[in-house]
Amino acid sequence: MSLLFQVRQGKVTRQGKFKPNSYTYRTKAGTVLLHKSTINRESSKLYSRWLTYFMAVKSNGGVFVRDSSQVHPLAVLLMTDTDVYVRDDGWRATISLVDSDLLVLEGDSYTIRLLRDFRVALSRMVETCLCYEMAAIPGDLHHQHSQLLDILVDLLKGPSANFGT
């Protein structure tokens, strides 16, 4: 089961009544519920449509998630260890995770290509760091990694509401 799920505002109850201030949560496998002990359950305003979780428990036919944390959609795109799919018509483009339809980002072709290339650079950085002890990383690579991380931090400080579908 994926450790990521998408939040959507508004839900329809079993009686057919629409509740605009309620949230629904779904993973690739289907709908999940927040356990009553999770910190985000009573949140009236979520700053990201993406949550990750530590534990899911199946009970009475439903899946309950505990210990959820909000995640910026760019962190989901840039930091997951899965391939991405880019659809580009030369003007507009979309980028999504190959193994999930939960996250699709759309933008101009140039921006989407930059995100794809930045993602590749971050993956390369992680692979390099796994091959070296921290003290053994050459100075030029250390400087390059610091610059990549600075860019990542700046991107993740931005609003997440502009990303994701």
Q: What is the pLDDT of residue 60?
A: 76
Does residue 163 belong to any structural domain of this protein? no
pLDDT along the chain (165 residues), means of 10: 60 68 68 72 70 76 76 87 90 88 87 94 91 80 93 87 56
User: What pLDDT shows up at residue 159?
Assistant: 76
Q: Strand pairing partners for 32?
A: 25
- Domain boundary pick from 38, 71, 104: 71
Do residues 57 and 78 share a domain?
no
Is the domain of 50 the same as that of 89?
Answer: no
User: Same structural domain for residues 82 and 146?
Assistant: yes
What is the domain count for the chain? 2
pTM of the shown model: 0.71
pLDDT of residue 49: 73
Note whether residue 60 is domain-resident. yes
Whether 35 maps to a domain, the answer reads: yes
Domain presence at residue 164: no
Indicate whether 40 and 112 sit together in one domain: no
Same-domain check for residues 83 and 143: yes
> Where would I find the beta strands (DSSP E) of the chain?
4-12, 18-27, 30-34, 50-59, 62-71, 84-88, 92-97, 104-108
> Quick check: is 165 in a domain?
no
